[in-house]
Structure 1
């Protein structure tokens, strides 16, 4: 009997000891990806003493996680009479901000846009002509702006913000700027209009932690009135035909000018050759004349040489007259 009582008491003691042991606290490990920024927010403790700055931008910045892996602190929450009746719960919340770039194309056609819905931007000109344009945009959250984004948007998905708030502001700015211009001015100044939209939209969201890297028009202007679109298409075709004819005419003019230049150049070459031939002929005649004069002088020198060689030393007898001079005539012959 006593042995049986001892066994019962021992069993009861074992049950009490086992029942007092809490379950093992399994570490809660989280990995932070390269495109993420993490914030570890305490769920208990200091938050009550810091209600004024709770979840402010500076508060979040101080709780940014600098590592790429972190163990979430845990606390034991007892839910029953015995010490082992309860569970381990996280003492802090890990918030991950996804900084991946997001691109959106808001167009009319499902083949070109991000969504299958018609998301083109509709606007009106100064003379109330309705039209639609496509817009493409890309945005991201930079590392240094993660706390600002988390505070402003409570970690909403960036794609959702682009399709709602950013698109709405782009549409508002585009409509406002287009309504001040005529349709002709809108077509001419599309680049200026989208630049004004960028100047209004990009700084606004930059202050809220979103960096817009791309914001521009996509595709052509599409008119909501089919008759206007048909008239524009007709005018476009006529302008294209006129441009094609202008190009063809310009090509003919250029070919004619090229032919005329070639003919002129050929004639200039012929004229130059004739001039050169005439100059060569004149030069040859001059050389021939100079050569003849040279030969005459050479012959005179030759005659003087022969005379000198045959001279006997006597001076020539000269007699003047109306008909010139007579050389080497004997005096007795002159007297006859």
Structure 2
């Protein structure tokens, strides 16, 4: 009986070992993931590799041993991030950027940045930053770099310039310098711009608003003056036209035309006469009015 029991215990132990082995094999051999289009994955040997080579880049279906390896996936399409003061846009924390202008005006700005990760440089990117999640790099290294560039370039402009005609120049310079600093690590800046307006201190903002209103009022007044001058010129032109027409008409009325008009008036009077002579003479010339008796009346 003893040998039989020992043999049964050996069989049970072997079966248990097989079950454990199958579980290990299932986890190690059958573990897999899918790298979708627009993403690049890198397989990292956590036990051997200290770095990542181009041979570690994987796409499509990837099988790996989860005990020994890990697969990190990075997006290789354009990424956009917003850093603002508002908790309703971008992160919940205040992520605005701040700097001082050339004339020592403290300014805060909300910005949006778009960037593209070069798939060919993903291994070097991971080796340098060890970022398993691209967002941690975005809100860490990239934001710090952008803030440094904004501080450096913002100090070269006066507030009125950076808030006016040179705003576009400032933003273009920030984008170019940020791109210059990130290109060596495989990241190209696609766009960098403001979200909203620059925010100076409240007292300066009020002064800027007052200045803007004064400029707008001045422009409106100038437009009204121009409109009034145009209307005056229009009236003068009309009057001059009418005067010229009258002069032309007067010059065309010679003596023969006036005599003809008088004859027309006399003819019209004759056509209307009823054959009776007037019974009143005098008036303006004689200063006296006389009643004339009708023909055949008694003297």
Which TM bucket (shorter chain)? 0.5 to 0.7
1:133–1:221 contact (8 Å) kept in structure 2: yes
1:216, distance to aligned residue in structure 2 (A):
1.5
2:39–2:73 contact (8 Å) kept in structure 1: yes
1:102–1:138 contact (8 Å) kept in structure 2: yes
Match in the other structure for 2:276: none
Asked if residue 41 in structure 1 is aligned to residue 17 in structure 2, the reply is: no
Q: How does 1:235-250 map to 2 (within 5 A)?
A: 235-250=211-226
Match in the other structure for 2:178: 201
Asked if residue 97 in structure 1 is aligned to residue 69 in structure 2, the reply is: no
1:125–1:179 contact (8 Å) kept in structure 2: yes
Match in the other structure for 1:29: 32
Distance in 2, Cα, partners of 1:109 & 1:14? 67
- Describe the SS at the equivalent of 1:237: helix
| Alignment match of 2:53 (pick from 60, 80, 84) | 60
Distance in 2, Cα, partners of 1:119 & 1:43? 35
1:63, distance to aligned residue in structure 2 (A):
1.6
Distance in 2, Cα, partners of 1:115 & 1:13? 60
Distance in 1, Cα, partners of 2:85 & 2:241? 61
RMSD: 3.4
Q: Which runs of 5+ in 2 are unaligned?
A: 253-299
Asked if residue 11 in structure 1 is aligned to residue 18 in structure 2, the reply is: no
1:157, distance to aligned residue in structure 2 (A):
2.8
Distance in 2, Cα, partners of 1:104 & 1:7? 71
Distance in 2, Cα, partners of 1:19 & 1:249? 100
- Describe the SS at the equivalent of 1:221: coil
In structure 2, do the counterparts of structure 1 residues 194 and 256 end up closer, same or farther at CA, with 3 Å as the change threshold?
Answer: same
1:97–1:155 contact (8 Å) kept in structure 2: no
* TM-superposition CA deviations, 1:261-289 (whole Å, max 9, x none): 7x49977x979x99xx9xxxxxxxxxxxx
Distance in 1, Cα, partners of 2:199 & 2:13? 81
Distance in 2, Cα, partners of 1:167 & 1:20? 52
Match in the other structure for 2:117: 141
In structure 2, do the counterparts of structure 1 residues 5 and 130 end up closer, same or farther at CA, with 3 Å as the change threshold?
Answer: closer
Q: How does 1:80-91 map to 2 (within 5 A)?
A: 90-91=67-68
Distance in 2, Cα, partners of 1:38 & 1:135? 30
Distance in 1, Cα, partners of 2:150 & 2:75? 29
Distance in 1, Cα, partners of 2:196 & 2:145? 20
1:102–1:159 contact (8 Å) kept in structure 2: no
Asked if residue 228 in structure 1 is aligned to residue 204 in structure 2, the reply is: yes
Asked if residue 125 in structure 1 is aligned to residue 101 in structure 2, the reply is: yes
* TM-superposition CA deviations, 1:141-195 (whole Å, max 9, x none): 2322322321221134332323232222222222222323322232331122222
Q: Which runs of 5+ in 1 are unaligned?
A: 48-53, 75-88, 278-336
1:137, distance to aligned residue in structure 2 (A):
0.8
Q: TM-score, normalised by structure 2?
A: 0.66
1:173–1:197 contact (8 Å) kept in structure 2: yes
- Describe the SS at the equivalent of 1:214: strand
- Between Structure 1 and Structure 2, how many residues are aligned? 242
Q: Which has the larger radius of gyration?
A: 1
| Alignment match of 2:147 (pick from 171, 194, 200) | 171
